[in-house]
């Protein structure tokens, strides 16, 4: 493979933690970089900004990030490496200053959504497999999400594209078998698919209400723990928690602990959620081995009717429904590219630089999106992907800016 010579133009899609770090690595190597961000920097992280991260700050930042921020402002003090920051603190204390640093700020385009991309002048089936597709660059269609010129479109060009658009904007479906429940498409805007701030900004939506919580992952666990705490404060708050897999009735473990979990905070969350499920004397009722068949939102009554299947089959009513059924990669962006292994179906979550090759020359998917539906992605995994990626782009197997910079910061 030929090295991409500097100063080629690299487009980074998404200014999340991995997009920013990938852009920074590229800038240190002398590439021109544009970062296109649909919303504001770290938009997805801000959506769960009230939550405390599992991974300590030292695992969420790179030596390059520290070096850039110290060069920018010698009086800047990073958070301690062992600090467990909230998403909001991580954004304020690290990601925002990084995005505003001299190396990145000029190429940062916030409120700019990438809505399509292809090769500049080539159709998806052309020059199939003959290795010449990389002779033309990429053409990106951008759309402004800024209130002033909302919807205005323009085209940008790039020699290399790194897609780090994450998964948090595209949820899985609530229904039995992973497809939408009957009525879910109509009720979608009334459902919560992410992490609510039930003890803060969203308190009034959940206090003194009956909530149906669906899912057995860590987002469900976080929502459960918050809702249970809310129930201790507002005692007519009730939570019915359903999980697809059946649990042992006596010792339910709806959140399956990760063996020898290296992140103690994540292990603790699983323990607390499982304890809440096992305890009869609280406001949480576990329905394991149960799925959602149908759901209807009654706007006049402000409540849902829900039909359940499985061990607790029947008709129920709830004021709120929180569907923590996971997220997925949005592959529409790449439909005009020769991507042979879409993140959606496989995830490229196996180690090794060769797993970053997508089939389309000079197009790469990194970060949470590269794991598709596998929610185990951590920022530390993304930093390793970045290191590997630039050994490919620079065609230098030994290239490791993180190692060379680590001793200097
Ligand atoms: C509740 C919760 C807690 C978590 N805690 C941790 C933790 O402790 N440690 C950890 O390592 N990981 C944690 N994660 C996982 C975390 O989300 C990821 O590690 C991290 O955010 C992934 O970064 P990313 O840059 O790949 O994607 P994202 O953070 O998802 O960023 C993607 C960006 O792309 C933008 N975008 C999307 N589509 C477009 C488009 N078409 N055009 C332009 N821009 C677009 C989005 O607005 C967003 O800013 C947690 C996740 C959740 C949900």
Question: Mean of the pLDDT values across residues 121-129?
Answer: 78
- Are 37 and 155 found together in one domain? yes
CA-based nearest residue to 104, from 163, 39, 17, 43? 17
Residue of minimum CA distance from atom 29 in ligand 1: 16
Cβ–ligand 1 contact at 22 (below 6 Å): no
- The torsion angles phi and psi of 309, rounded to 5 degrees, stand at -115, 155
Rounded to the nearest angstrom, the distance between the alpha carbon of 45 and the centre of ligand 1 is 6
pLDDT in tens, 146-167: 999 999 999 999 999 999 999 9
Query: Ligand 1 in contact with 225 (CB < 6 A)?
Result: no
Residues with Cβ within 8 Å of residue 177, at least 6 apart in sequence: none
Residue 4 belongs to a domain: no
The whole-angstrom separation of Cα 321 and Cα 56 is 31
Q: Please report where in the chains the tokens 């059946």 appear, as a residue.
A: 246
CATH number of domain containing 366? 3.50.50.60
Which of these three, 270, 301, 323, is where a domain ends? 323
Q: What number does the ligand 1 atom closest to the CA of 84 have?
A: 8
Same domain, 309 and 367: no
Both 231 and 360 in a single domain? no
**Rounded to the nearest whole angstrom, what is the distance from the C-alpha of residue 14 to the centroid of ligand 1?**
9
Q: Tell me how far the alpha carbon of residue 232 lies from the centroid of ligand 1, in angstroms.
A: 31
Residue 75's pLDDT is 94
- Same domain? For 42 and 133 the reply is yes
Residues paired with residue 192 on neighbouring β-strands, in sequence order: 322
Instruction: Give the mean model confidence (pLDDT) for residues 54-70.
Output: 97
* Predicted TM-score (pTM) above 0.85: yes
pLDDT digits (tens, 9 = 90+) for 82-116: 999 999 999 999 999 999 999 999 999 999 999 99
Residue among 105, 102, 99, 109 nearest 17 (CA): 99
Q: For the chain, what's the residue count?
A: 409
- Residue 347 confidence (pLDDT): 46
In the predicted model, what is the mean pLDDT of residues 23-45? 97
- Considering the domain boundaries, does residue 2 fall inside one? no
Beta carbons of 104 and 71 less than 8 angstroms apart: no
Atom from ligand 1 closest to the CA of residue 165: 34
Mutate to test the pocket of ligand 1, among 81, 90, 165 (most ligand atoms within 8 A of CB): 165
Lowest mean pLDDT among 6-10, 55-59, 217-221, 346-350: 346-350
Ligand 1 nearest atom to the CA of residue 168, by list position:
30
- The answer to whether residues 312 and 336 belong to one domain is no
pLDDT-derived band of residue 50, with 50, 70 and 90 as boundaries? very high
Is the peptide bond prior to 7 cis by the omega test (within 30 degrees of 0)? yes
User: What distance in angstroms lies between residue 389's CA and the mean position of ligand 1's atoms?
Assistant: 19
- Which residue CA neighbors atom 22 of ligand 1 most closely? 368
Assess contact for 85 and 51: CB atoms under 8 A.
no
Whole-number pLDDT of residue 298: 97
Give the pLDDT mean for 351-359.
Answer: 82
**Is there an atom of ligand 1 within 6 Å of 43 CB?**
yes
Kindly report the three-state secondary structure assignment for every residue of the chain. CCCCCCCCEEEEECCCHHHHHHHHHHHHCCCEEEEECCCCCCHHHHHCCCCECCCCHHHHCCHHHHHHHHHHCCCCCCCCCCCCCEHHHHHHHHHHHHHCCHHHHCCEECCEEEEEEEECCECCCCCCCCCCHHHCCEEEEEEECCCCCCCCEEEEEECEEEECCCCCCCECCCEHHHCCCECHHHHHHHCECCCCCCCCCCHHHHCCCEEEEECCCHHHHHHHHHHHHHHHHCCCCEEEEEECCCCCCCCCCCCCCCCCCCCHHHHHHHHHHHHHHHCCCCCEEEEECEEEEEEEEECCCCEEEEEEEECCCEEEEECEEEECCCECCCHHHHCCCCCCCCCCCCCCCCCCHHHHCCCCCCEEECHHHHHCCCCCCCHHHHHHHHHHHHHHHCCCCCCCHHHHHHCCC
Name the band, by pLDDT with cuts 50, 70 and 90, for residue 132.
Answer: confident
Q: How far apart are CA 409 and CA 395, in angstroms?
A: 26
The rounded distance, in Å, linking the Cα atoms of 169 and 171 is 7
Q: Is the CB of 55 under 6 A from ligand 1?
A: yes
Q: State whether the beta carbon of 95 lies less than 6 angstroms from ligand 1.
A: no
* 349 C-beta neighbours (distance < 10 Å), count: 15
Are 164 and 189 within one domain?
Answer: no
Residue 260 pLDDT greater than 60, yes or no: yes
Predicted pLDDT of residue 125: 80
Q: What is the pLDDT of residue 409?
A: 66
Q: What is the pLDDT of residue 345?
A: 47
Any domain includes 27: yes
Verify that 316 and 184 share a domain, yes or no.
Answer: yes
Closest CA to 28 of 402, 407, 388, 406: 402
Whether 259 and 344 map to the same domain: the answer is: no
Residue 3 inside a domain? The answer is no
Give the model's pLDDT for residue 131: 66
Same-domain status, 252 and 333: no
- The pLDDT tens digits for 269-323 are 999 999 999 988 889 999 999 999 999 999 999 999 999 999 999 999 999 999 9
Question: What is the DSSP pairing of strand 160-163 with strand 9-13?
Answer: parallel
Q: In this structure, which residue's CA is closest to atom 6 in ligand 1?
A: 53
Q: Are residues 156 and 185 in the same domain?
A: no
From the list 4, 36, 6, 190, the residue with the least C-alpha distance to 111 is 36
Say how many domains are in the chain.
2
Ligand 1 close to Cβ of residue 239 (< 6 A): no
Answer yes or no: is the C-beta of 219 below 6 A from any ligand 1 atom: yes
- Cα 121 to ligand 1 centre (Å): 32
Long-range contacts of 75-81 (CB under 8 A, 24+ apart): 81/56, 81/57
Q: How far is the CA of 229 from the centre of ligand 1 (A)?
A: 26
Say if ligand 1 is within 6 A of residue 365 CB.
Answer: no
Q: Are residues 289 and 183 in the same domain?
A: yes
Distance CA 177, CA 160 (A): 38
| % residues pLDDT > 70 (the chain) | 95
**Are 321 and 191 a contacting pair, CB within 8 Å?**
yes
Any domain includes 272: yes
User: Is any ligand 1 atom within 6 A of the Cβ of residue 343?
Assistant: no
pLDDT value for 155: 97
273 located within any domain: yes
pLDDT tens per residue across span 357-382: 898 999 999 999 999 999 889 999 99
Q: Which of 298, 323, 348 is the last residue of a domain?
A: 323
pLDDT, mean over the chain: 93
Left, alpha or beta for 111 (phi > 0: left; psi -120 to 50: alpha)? left
Judge if 343 and 307 occupy the same domain.
no
Query: Of 49 and 338, which is predicted with more confidence?
Result: 49
Q: What is the pLDDT of residue 3?
A: 78
Pair type for strands 303-310 and 138-144: unpaired
- Average pLDDT value for residue range 57-86: 96
How large is the greatest C-alpha to C-alpha distance in the chain, in angstroms? 67
* Per-residue confidence band for 203, with pLDDT thresholds at 50, 70 and 90: very high
Q: What is the pLDDT of residue 351?
A: 63
Encoding tokens for residue 396? 């230098």
Boundary (domain end) residue, out of 275, 290, 323: 323
Range of the domain at 300: 176-323
């Amino acid at each position: 493979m030929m090295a991409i010579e500097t100063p080629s133009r690299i487009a980074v899609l998404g200014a999340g933690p991995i997009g920013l770090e990938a852009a920074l690595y590229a800038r240190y190597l002398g590439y021109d970089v544009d970062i296109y961000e649909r919303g504001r920097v770290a938009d997805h992280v801000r959506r769960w900004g009230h939550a405390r991260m599992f991974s300590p700050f030292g695992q969420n930042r790179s030596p390059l990030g520290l070096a850039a921020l110290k060069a920018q402002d010698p009086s800047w003090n990073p958070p301690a490496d062992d600090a467990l920051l909230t998403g909001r603190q991580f954004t304020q204390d690290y990601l925002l200053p990084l995005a505003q640093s001299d190396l990145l700020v000029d190429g940062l385009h916030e409120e700019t959504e990438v809505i399509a991309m292809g090769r500049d002048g080539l159709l998806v089936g052309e020059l199939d497999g003959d290795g010449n597709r990389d002779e033309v660059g990429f053409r990106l269609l951008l759309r402004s999400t800024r209130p002033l010129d909302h919807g205005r479109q323009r085209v940008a060009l790039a020699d290399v594209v790194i897609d780090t658009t994450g998964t948090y904007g595209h949820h899985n479906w609530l229904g039995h078998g992973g497809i939408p429940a009957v009525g879910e498409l109509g009720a979608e805007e009334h459902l919560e698919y992410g992490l609510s701030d039930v003890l803060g900004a969203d308190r009034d939506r959940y206090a003194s209400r009956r909530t149906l919580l669906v899912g057995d992952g860590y987002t469900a666990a976080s929502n459960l723990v918050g809702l249970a705490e809310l129930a201790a404060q507002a005692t007519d708050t009730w939570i019915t928690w359903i999980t697809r897999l059946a649990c042992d009735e006596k010792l339910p473990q709806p959140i399956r602990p990760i063996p020898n979990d290296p992140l103690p905070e994540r292990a603790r969350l699983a323990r607390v959620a499982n304890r809440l499920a096992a305890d009869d004397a609280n406001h949480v009722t576990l329905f394991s081995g149960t799925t959602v068949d149908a759901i209807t939102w009654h706007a006049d009554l402000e409540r849902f009717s829900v039909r359940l299947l499985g061990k607790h089959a029947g008709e129920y009513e709830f004021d709120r429904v929180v569907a923590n059924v996971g997220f997925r990669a949005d592959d529409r962006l790449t439909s005009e590219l020769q991507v042979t292994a879409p993140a959606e179906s496989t995830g490229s979550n196996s180690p090794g630089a060769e797993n970053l090759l997508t089939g389309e020359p000079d197009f790469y998917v990194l970060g949470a999106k590269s794991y598709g539906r596998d929610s185990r992605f951590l920022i530390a995994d993304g930093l390793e992907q970045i290191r590997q990626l630039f050994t490919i782009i620079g065609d230098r197997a030994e290239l490791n800016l993180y190692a060379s910079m680590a001793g200097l910061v």
